[in-house]
Amino acid sequence: MACTASTASAGKQCFSTRIVRDFQESDLRNLKVDRKRFNDTLHDTCKFGTGQRWGSGQTETGMCRLSLTDSDKEARDWFVQKTKSLGCEVTVDAMGNIFAVRPGRREAPPTFAGSHLDTQPRGGRYDGILGVLSGVEMLQVLNDHAIQTEFPVGVVNWTNEEGARFPIIMVASGVWSGRIPLERAHQLQEVGSGKVTMKSELERIGYLGDTPASHESTPMAAHFELHIEQGPILEATGQKVGVVTTAQAYRWFKVEVQGQEAHTGTTPLNNRADAMLLTSYLIAHSHRLATTHNCVATTGTLEISPGSVNTIPGCVSFTLDVRAPADETLDKIESDMKRDFAALAAGEDIGGLRTGGTRGKPLTVAWQTDANTAATRFHPECVDIVRASAVSVTGSDSLVRDMTSGAGHDSVYTNLQCPTSMIFVPSKDGISHNPVEYTSPEDCAIGAEVLLQSVIRYDRLRSTREAL
Amino acid sequence: MACTASTASAGKQCFSTRIVRDFQESDLRNLKVDRKRFNDTLHDTCKFGTGQRWGSGQTETGMCRLSLTDSDKEARDWFVQKTKSLGCEVTVDAMGNIFAVRPGRREAPPTFAGSHLDTQPRGGRYDGILGVLSGVEMLQVLNDHAIQTEFPVGVVNWTNEEGARFPIIMVASGVWSGRIPLERAHQLQEVGSGKVTMKSELERIGYLGDTPASHESTPMAAHFELHIEQGPILEATGQKVGVVTTAQAYRWFKVEVQGQEAHTGTTPLNNRADAMLLTSYLIAHSHRLATTHNCVATTGTLEISPGSVNTIPGCVSFTLDVRAPADETLDKIESDMKRDFAALAAGEDIGGLRTGGTRGKPLTVAWQTDANTAATRFHPECVDIVRASAVSVTGSDSLVRDMTSGAGHDSVYTNLQCPTSMIFVPSKDGISHNPVEYTSPEDCAIGAEVLLQSVIRYDRLRSTREAL
């Protein structure tokens, strides 16, 4: 795709066609995104699923764009229309993943930038959205400068990364990678009392594509993902770009505590099997074990039964999300938790939690593993390319650091089938999954330029390699 | 109302009319309930709102007879029809309280036996039901023996004692006593997502009576309530009857913990304001304070927000039900809890709860008082009458003990407007508010005979007093 009147942005200078294979470091360094256009577009698309207002400014609202809702459909329609207008061919697969591909000089699997357009119910404007919108800006810049890549480049929007509406995170890249069966994903029911499934909602909004959801049908040469850090490290160190070398292993457990319902007023403390009191000890203890093992453990959901002010809870179930950089750490903390939870349920004291309390009757604890994802090591070539791009864009390797991703991302699944790495930019106060999530326009633009360079450098690497 | 063919039970011997005023201790001691009839009737009425099955026996199911539901209406209809057939005049007030009155030799406020027919959603066959059904059996025995009381005697069914469907416990006796405004009670909405109110449901099932809900419109000379202990003491001591001299003070609080939502995988422990972790400390600490102050504290409901496995909870709200025999104890524990919760929220350690954990960011705690009921001292004359009746029925004062009620009961409100006391019988394993709640037929009958004697003794006391 050369620069033509129809593909170059109006008002932008159209250089004579430039071929990536011939790019020098200075060419890469001089390649900039249009910061105003990028920022405007990013926030303009936040009209699809605007969430909770947290400030008086025009962009000071969060997002509520749950996967496959009407607002997600609007964002998808915009993405398809926009990438088509930029000269892309668009493919939708059976999971509703959208692949927009800009042709290169030669036919081959494209180098992709990608992330997701869905959000948490009380999410912000950057998580996922930044990764897709920076891919769209990349297409714009390539067109602005009439740049010809050797191989196709693409932008992918992955479905239901958040797992907030259909309760498996990264489910659609998981199907694409072959790790999650299509049928299981299609049958996923909406959380809460909803009756709809992923498949019925894909059909309803018109995004149940004909192409199989598989890395075999839509192969990728590589996958680069720009994402907000969602943590406090870059902000604390004053650095600008995280080169993501690894992603934490994580496991999700559901723990069910079984005690005995009884009347709150008439049951002495020593005659109780209070499921909520034991749960409090277990959550406090899981936090201590996480501290000991230098990892993180969190209880994000909890259900209490029967849920009456004057009935001692007979049953409590809660989730534990445990993450560590190494699989072995998770093995160890899981084993410690299972041993200690059973001891606490039997009435033993651990770490003084029961000191000063009244020993009641024994309870039981049951475990269920809902997710178990091994630690990810991203592809060394992609990691090197991201690092080189970050130093080139920021002008200093002191502004760049290697990082581990605390969160799961679609890149964890793409890494199973193609070279992958990720780019992090700072999150204000380390906050995400929250309406106030914020990354400055400058930092967003730096991230987008690192993404742009990374994709071009990878294309150049491929052409160099094939030329050898 | 003398003994006539229409009011004496078929097949029962009809003594010549006996006047309570002339009763001797031996007459009282020889007055027995019909144990088979009483047990059969009690379990037969459990077909109205049968709950969860817990055993294979015919009566081994719990109850789910939420106030003003269709099954509650069936139980009410049965009660009205039954007491009318036994010669009672029935009055329904604006809270749906049902007063069935058997005339005496003279017109005056009746001496009442009473309790409630509604149950918890996962309740048993005795809580409340025993008190009403033993009142019905009392009417039967009075008729069997053609006993004429000096003053009327009655049986009252109080509406929504449990507070399980409309969230104020003992709300209808509270209105009767003048402590709760009628309007507030009528407007109470069904818990959960229901839209109906107490008033709309009273209308729907035909129990919105014309009589004002007030002790002035339906005055009582006295109120006696037979109830299961709902605790383990009588069973543990091998005693048969509790003479309830006092009822615990209790306070209900709603505590709201405000932290900050953040991503579970990317937020280090020291950067968190985890509302669920702090809540765990608070619940564990409330239990320690209850131990210290020799009272009880319970968290029966808890809501977590946003409630996503991979989001650190930004907000948790939970209830605390705190009870003690003395108001001063509650003043002290409330003050201790408020001081210590604030300190824990600010990050201080109390009692080693934070030892071995990671100090995060500060959170805030807000309190709301939902109920505040002072300790109750039941009427000395009624207490003495119950004690004398219990010794008479069991034949030994070693089988009788004075007790404090741990739970709230309608008697707590009636005691504000008329002499009141209560009778406790043993609860198997101290369990109630649970389908397996159980009191043996023998113990139920003993309780019913104590109730019967108490009402007759009170009638005799009144007639003696008026004769002086």
Calpha distance A448→A454 (Å, rounded): 10
3-state SS assignment for residue B436? coil
Residues with Cβ within 8 Å of B31's Cβ and at least 6 positions away in sequence, in order, are: B141, B145, B449, B452, B453, B456
Contacts of A320 (CB under 8 A, 6+ apart): A252, A253, A254, A255, A286, A297, A298, A299, A337
Q: Is residue B1 in a domain?
A: no
**Tokens coding A380:** 């060394």
Distances (CA, A) of B28 to B22, B456, B463: 11, 8, 16
CB contact under 8 A, B355 and A352: yes
Backbone phi, then psi, for B69, in 5-degree steps? -85, 175
> Using the beta-carbon criterion (under 8 Å), do A308 and B262 form an inter-chain contact?
no
Indicate yes or no: CB of A280 within 8 angstroms of CB of B277.
no
* CA-angle at B426, arms to B420 and B432, nearest 5°: 90
Tell whether A265 is within 8 A of chain B (Cβ): yes
The model's confidence at residue B248, banded by pLDDT at 50, 70 and 90, is very high
Q: CA–CA separation, A178 vs A185, rounded Å?
A: 12
The first and second tokens of residue B329, run together, are 């104890």
Spatial CA neighbour of B18 closest among B30, B6, B33: B30
A148-166 confidence digits (pLDDT tens): 999 999 999 999 999 989 9
pLDDT band at B467 (very low <50, low <70, confident <90, very high): low
Cβ atoms within 10 A of the Cβ of A210, count?
A: 9
* In-domain check, residue A12: no
Contact assessment for residue B80 and residue B209, using Cβ atoms and an 8 Å cutoff: no
The verdict on B224 and B344 lying in the same domain is no
In this structure, are A243 and A253 located in the same domain?
no
Average pLDDT on A400-417 reads 96
Q: How many CA atoms lie within 13 A of A430 on its CB side?
A: 25
Is residue A244 scored above 70 in pLDDT? yes
Q: What is the CATH number of the domain that holds B304?
A: 3.30.70.360
Dihedral sign from CA coordinates of A117, A120, A125, A128: negative
Is B290 part of a structural domain of the chain? yes
Boundary residue ending a domain (B373, B400, B433): B373
Nearest Cα neighbor of B202 from B92, B49, B305 is B92
Of chain B, the percentage scoring pLDDT greater than 70 comes to 96
The span from the CA of B441 to the CA of B395, in Å, is 18
The whole-angstrom distance between residue B40's C-alpha and the CA centroid of its chain comes to 23
* φ, ψ for residue A221, nearest 5 deg: -75, -35
Cis bond before residue A152 (omega within 30° of 0) = no
Residue A139 included in any domain: yes
d(CA B427, nearest CA chain A) in Å? 11
Q: What is the mean pLDDT of residues A97-107?
A: 97
Cα distance between residue A250 and residue B346, in whole Å: 30
CB B102 within 8 A of CB B86: yes
Q: Report d(CA A337, CA A334) in Å as an integer.
A: 5
Partners of B367 in beta bridges: B255
Q: Answer whether A197's CB lies under 8 Å from A387's CB.
A: no
**Judgement on whether residues A203 and A269 belong to the same structural domain of the protein:** no
Q: Is residue A66 in some structural domain?
A: yes
Mean pLDDT of B265-288: 96
pLDDT, tens only, B4-30? 434 444 444 444 578 898 899 999 999
Tell me if B310 and A163 make a contact (CB, 8 A cut-off): yes
pLDDT, one tens digit per residue, over A138-147 is 999 999 999 9
Predicted pLDDT of residue B10? 42
Same domain? A210 vs A306: no
Q: Does B281 touch chain A (CB under 8 A)?
A: yes
A6 in any annotated domain: no
Pick A430's closest partner by Cβ from B262, B291, B432. Answer: B262
CA distance B219 to B379: 17
Q: Which residues pair with B228 in a beta bridge?
A: B425
- B366-398 b/e (C-beta count within 10 Å ≥ 16 → b): eeeeebebebbebbeebbebbbbbbbbbbeeee
pLDDT at B17: 72
**Same domain, yes or no: B369 and B383:** no
Per-residue tokens: A416: 């199973």
Phi/psi for A124 (5° steps) reads -115, -170
Structure-token match 């063919």, residue found: B5
Structural domains in chain A (count): 2
Domain containing B264: what range?
249-373
List CB contacts of A468: < 8 A, sequence separation 6 or more.
Answer: none
Residue A361 Cα, gap to closest chain B Cα (Å)? 12
CB-CB contact of A119 with A172 (8 Å): no
- Tell me, yes or no, whether B156 and B200 share the same domain: yes
Give the pLDDT of residue A376.
96
The pLDDT score that the predictor gives to residue A157 is 98
Distance, in Å, from the CA atom of B317 to the CA atom of B320, rounded to the nearest integer, reads 10
Average pLDDT over residues A346-367: 97
Q: Tell me the backbone φ, ψ of residue B377, rounded to 5 degrees.
A: -115, 115
Residues B287 and B226 in one domain: no
B22 three-class SS: helix
Give dist(CA B20, CA B468) in Å, integer: 16
Domain C-terminal end among A320, A355, A373: A373
Residue with tokens 């039900």: B321
B252 forms beta bridges with: B321, B371
Searching chain A, which residue's CA lies closest to the CA of residue B431?
A262
Q: Are residues A434 and A405 in the same domain?
A: yes
Tell me what the mean pLDDT of segment B85-95 comes to.
98
Residues 156-175 of B with CB under 8 A from A: 163-164, 167, 169
Name which of B229, B271, B300 is nearest A309 (Cβ-Cβ): B300
Q: Which residues contact residue B365 at a Cβ distance below 8 angstroms, ignoring those fewer than 6 apart?
A: B255, B256, B257, B258, B278, B282, B341, B342, B345
Q: Which is more confidently placed, B96 or A193?
A: B96
Q: Which residue has the tokens 């709640």?
A: B437
SS3 for B165? coil
> Which residues make Cβ contacts (< 8 Å) with residue A5, sequence separation at least 6?
none
Stronger pLDDT, A308 or A159, i.e. the higher one: A159
Is there a single domain that holds both residue B261 and residue B368?
yes
Burial label for A26, CB within 10 Å (0-12, 13-18, 19+), is exposed
A296 touches chain B (CB under 8 A): yes
In this complex, do B281 and A276 lie within 8 Å of one another by their Cβ atoms? no
Specify whether B444 is located in the same domain as B326: no
Length of chain B: 468
Residues of chain A contacting B263 with CB distance shorter than 8 Å: 230-231, 406-407, 432-433
Query: pLDDT (tens digit, 9 = 90+) per residue, A410-434?
Result: 999 999 999 999 999 999 999 888 8
Task: Give how far Cα A95 sits from Cα of A213, A219, B414, Å.
Answer: 6, 15, 65
Which among A373, A394, A427 is the end of a domain?
A: A373
**Does one domain contain both B239 and B255?**
no
Residue A375 pLDDT > 70: yes
Looking at the DSSP bridge assignments, the partners of residue A402 are A243
**How close B389 gets to chain A, by Cα (Å)?**
24
- Decide if B5 is inside a domain: no
Cα B5 off chain centre by: 36
Closest CA to B361 of B305, B266, B265, B277: B277
Residue A129 included in any domain: yes
pLDDT, tens digit (0-9, with 9 covering 90-100), for B429-455:
998 888 999 999 999 999 999 999 999
Rounded to an integer, what distance in angstroms lies between the CA atom of residue B128 and that of residue B116? 5
Contact between A266 and B120 using a beta-carbon 8 Å cutoff: no
Q: What is the pLDDT of residue A18?
A: 87
pLDDT at A69: 98
Q: What is the mean pLDDT of residues B70-99?
A: 98
Q: Which residue in B348, B314, B92 sits closest to B206, CA to CA?
A: B92
Q: What is the CATH number of the domain that holds B38?
A: 3.40.630.10
CA dist A195 and A184 (Å) reads 16
Is the Cβ pair B431, A262 closer than 8 Å?
Answer: yes
Do A149 and A20 form a contact (C-beta atoms < 8 A)?
A: yes
Phi, psi of B132 (to 5 degrees): -75, -45
Q: How far apart are CA A161 and CA A169, in angstroms?
A: 5
Tens of pLDDT along A104-124?
999 999 999 999 999 999 999
Residue A244 shares a structural domain with residue A258: no
- Show the tokens assigned to A270: 């020593």
Q: What pLDDT does residue A4 have?
A: 44
| Window B:399-428, CB contacts with A under 8 Å | 405-408, 427
Give the residue among A82, A71, A67, A69 at the shortest CA–CA distance from A47: A71
Mean pLDDT lowest among A17-26, B58-67, B71-80: A17-26
Residue among A78, A29, A446 nearest A229 (CA): A446
